[in-house]
Structures are given as structure tokens and as C-alpha cells.
Structure 1
Amino acid sequence: MKAWEGVGEAYAASYASLCAGTHDDLLRRLGAAEGRRLLDVGSGTGRLAARLMGAGWTVTACEPESTMRAVAAREHPRVSVVDGALPSLPFADAAFDAVTANFVLNHVSDPREAARELARVMVPGGILIATTWVVSPSWFWRSVCQRAGLVATPAGGLAPEKDFERTPAGFGRTLAEGGWPSVAVSELSWTWRATTDELWRSAEGGVASAGAFYLSLDAAERGKFARAFDQLCEEHGDGGAVALDHTAAVASAALDERTGARRTHA
């Protein structure tokens, strides 16, 4: 979570709209709300939680980063946001009818342990949904670095024994190893028409690995990075926006008594 400290405002102005590309699909998978209880883990600035509440769910959002929670409180004041993080959520066993984790398991130190914790807080017969990147925004920033002649250092990757293959099949295996039964995974692709301002806010604001890398540069290197960014946006932009293709793996599973992961939570 260290890479995301203090980036709430920059994230809200940039990647929040990108990550919303899965929201329609998540609502479709969840089905009718009927006032049921839902936990959105790693809720960020509250955009998905607010959408789910609007669809009739009784929503609790859970987000460990304070600036993300501050943005959520301002932009979505009706959403209840709790301070909490995987792999130890501050909720009782079987507390929710559904659990969502949108682009969260790719940011934890142990995805399988985190998957078990997501299952623990869900009632038998509920639904678990999680997403991860197959094609992420990092490809655009790699192009910027190559154009600028900069070598991006890997930022806090997972230990080899904890890592997983960034494909639908690899994500599904990881969740199954974390106790999710009969996982269904599919690919979802969409085009994010990002304005140049949104893209630059993410870098300058330190969002994700690309932003952390930019902030680690000295003044001369930042100048090279900015010039390469401007060149790529000019070459590929259209009307002040750049069309960037992305793909996510979207996984869902239902839990029953035989497969439920339960433990007493202090």
C-alpha cells in the first residue's frame, strides 16, 4: 500500500475513471440487489461503492489509505467507508451477502491469503467478485520511458512464491488456491479515452508504479519524461485525449457451507 500513500486526489483525477471500466460488468454479475449487504474492499475514492448503493445494495466500503477515504467522504458522503486492509478485514465472519474487490488483489503481498479473507466475510450462498489487470496502464508508461531513454526500476513486485500469472486462467487458479470454489473468469476489454491532463495528473501525483517512478527522478530526468510524454500524446492523441486499450480478468464465485472459509475474527 506504500506506493498509494497520499495519492487520493491524483487518483480521483486520473485512474478512478479508468478503473470504472469494469463497473457495468460487476453490477451485471451481482444481479438484483434487493437491499442485501455488500462489502467493497479496496474501495478507493468510493466511486464503485456509490454506484452499488445507487443500484440498491446496502454498501460498506473498506479502504486503508486516508487520502482516498477523504475524497470518498467529500464526493460520496452517503457511503460508509471503514479503515481496513487485507489480509485482516475488521468484520465478523459471514457478515456480507456479496464482496467485491476491483483491482485490489494485484496490490496485496499475498493474493491467496487475501482471497481467503474475502471469502471469510461472506455468507454461504453469497457472491465474490474480483478483478485484476491483464493489460494495464503500465504499457503506456513503458513507452514514455523508452522514448525518454529512462529505465524504470521494478516497484515492489511480489515474492516469486506469492506471484501469479496475469491471465484469466492464472487469476482463476490463484483464487481457487485461496479457497474460492468453481471460479468463473472472463476477459473484459475497453478503451479508456484519457485526457492528457488525466494522464499527467497520475504521473505527477505519484499514482501507481509509474507515478512513483516519476517522483523518484531528478529534475533533468523529469524533463525528459515530460517531453517524451508530450510527444506520445501528440502522436496518438485525438481532440486532447488518448485512446488507451485495457483488459481485465473478472472473476466470480459463489460460496456454500461445504467450501466456506470461516474463522473467528477478533
Structure 2
Amino acid sequence: MNMTPFDEAERRIWDGRAAAYARSFAGLCAHTVPALLDAAGVGPGARVLDVGTGTGAVAAAACRARAIVSAVDAEPDMTLWTAEAVPEADVRVAALPELPFVDGTFDAVLANFVLNHVGRPRAAAAELRRVTGDCGRVAVSLWGDERGAGQSLARQAVAAAGLGLPPALPPIAPEEDFPLTEEGVAALLSGAGFTGVVCETVRFEHRVDPERWWAGTAGGVGPVGALVAAQPQDVIDAVRKEFDALVQPLLGDDGLATLPHVALLASGSA
């Protein structure tokens, strides 16, 4: 597959990050899993594809629902993690917009926070449609333009420490890009051939041990994490000091931080 510069940058960022992601941001991204399964009508015997499985939260939930589950991820480290965590799933290395399945293979296709991470999102949405069988369902979640306070914590800490923000990812081609809004995501799926598409804004609070939240950044997860992890220890310590100060007002009596987040969740029929 010919990767775009955006895709190549994403591969570099996520290379070898499965363990760091599993102990930090995986818990955050799991919030939308039940809603995705509901939106796609996942139940016993359904043929389900988990695209961009990460460390397997969607695949595991679909298996618990007694579905027949396949899962793919572009990052080999993630697929190894998922294959061990969800042994009943068929787990493969594969990346949008080229999936190793014949047309109409699946009753439900799920993509949890994946379309933010592909360089050709319109082609990716069309590929989701290709592998969805007649009368099948798709359900996707994305980070949109609106962000909750918890989503900017690491960036604020980096800026406060004087490190500056990470360089922007290479741009997506204008003909492939789409607005990160309810209307934009709905139009993306409708343009790919799905019908009855609905998209809603989902707001939730992620309660987490600050140490686990910091572990994602310190472990190099995402663009901000990659920037921090590449710094000398004194700079990392300075960012951590700012992080601790920013998270302090968000702590409850149990020591957990309450981090508001905002996402988009869309679904439709083939």
C-alpha cells in the first residue's frame, strides 16, 4: 500500500507503543465501546470486524457478546497485544484503506477512534462500506473539533514547561479531508454509501489515577507523548511538574482525576 506522509508519521508515532497505550489511554478510549456495539447491533453469531483494534477493547467486548470477531491494526505491536488478550478473535496486521477481506464479509464493522489516524479518510470510509454485508451496520467514534478539558492536559503541561507543542502532522489532501463535526462525519459515511447515518456528540468524564494518565505521555503515546519521551530527563521532569500542578484541581477525595472528554459517534446501514 502506498502510504501518505500523514500515514507514515502516524506509523512512527505508534511504533512499539502498545504497552504504554494499554496502561494509559486505552481506558479512555474504552468509554465508547458499549455504544458502538449497540449502534452496530452486535449480538450472538454476528460477523464483526474491529478496525484499528489497538489493545483489543472492542474485540473483547464483541467476543463477550458471542460474536464471531476479526480485528486488524496497522501497528504490529498492537495486534500482538490483542491476539494475546483476545485469543478467540482472528487478529491480523492491516491498515485502512486496504483490508484483507472480500466484499460484504461482515455484519458489523466498528472503528473506535480510528478515522482520526488515517491519511485517506474518505477512501477508508469507502473500504468500511466494501467489507460490510448487505443490511450490515457500521459504527465509528472520532475525536472532533470540540474538546473536553481533559483532552488538553498534556499539551498544557508541555507549553507551561516551555517545551513548545509538537510539530503538526503532515496535512491530509483537501479532497480526502472532512470536518470533524456531527455533520462532517455523517457526510463522510453517507458519501461512502451508508444509509440512515446518524452522528451525535458524546460527553463523558474519564476518572483515572494521575500516574496512569501521565504514563501515556511519558511512554510516548501520541504526538505530545512522542515529543516528551524524546527529551532529556530534566525536561521530562519539568513537564511532569507542570502536569502535577494542572491535575491537582481535578483530583477527588479518592485520588482520581476527573477528566471531561468530548467525542463523536456515528452509525449507519449498508
Q: Secondary structure at the match of 1:141?
A: helix
**Structure 1: runs of 5+ lacking an equivalent:** 256-266
The residue aligned with 2:198 is 184
Letter in 2 for 1:146: A
The list of structure 1 runs, each at least 4 consecutive aligned residues, that deviate by more than 3 angstroms after superposition, is none
Equivalent residue runs for 1:83-232 within 5 Å:
83-134=93-144, 135=147, 138-159=151-172, 161=174, 162-232=176-246
Whether contact under 8 Å (2:250, 2:259) holds in the other structure is no
Residue 213 of structure 1 aligns with an amino acid whose one-letter code is L
Q: How far apart are the structure 2 equivalents of 1:95 and 1:28?
A: 20
1:230 and 1:177 map into 2 onto residues whose CA distance is: 44
Alignment partners' CA distance in 2, 1:32 and 1:177: 24
C-alpha spacing 1:20/1:168, structure 2 compared with 1 (3 Å): same
How far the C-alpha of 1:77 sits from its partner, in A, is 2.1
Deviation of residue 32 (structure 1)?
5.3
Summarize deviations over 1:240-261 as a string: whole Å, max 9, x none: 3211111111111101xxxxxx
List runs of 5+ in structure 2 lacking aligned partners.
1-9
The residue type equivalent to 2:248 in the other structure is E
Q: Is the 8 A contact 2:153 2:243 kept in 1?
A: no
| Secondary structure class of the residue paired with 1:182 | strand
Q: 1:15, 1:34 → 2: CA distance?
A: 29
- Could you state the TM-score of these two structures normalised by the residue count of structure 2? 0.88
- 1:138 and 1:210 in contact (8 A); partners too: no
Alignment of 1:53-64 (within 5 A): 53-64=63-74
Could you list the per-position Cα deviations for residues 19-76 of structure 1 after superposition, in whole angstroms to 9, with x for gaps in the alignment? 1100121122123523021111001111211111111211111112122122223322
1:12 aligns with 2:7: no
SS at match of 2:60: helix
Q: Distance in 2 between matches of 1:192 and 1:155?
A: 26
Query: What SS does structure 1 have at the residue aligned with 2:96?
Result: coil
1:112-158 deviation per Cα after TM superposition (whole angstroms, max 9, x unaligned): 11000010011111001111012266412222123222310334153
CA-based RMSD of the aligned residues comes to 1.7
Distance of 2:45 and 2:66 partners within structure 1: 6
**Number of equivalenced pairs:** 255
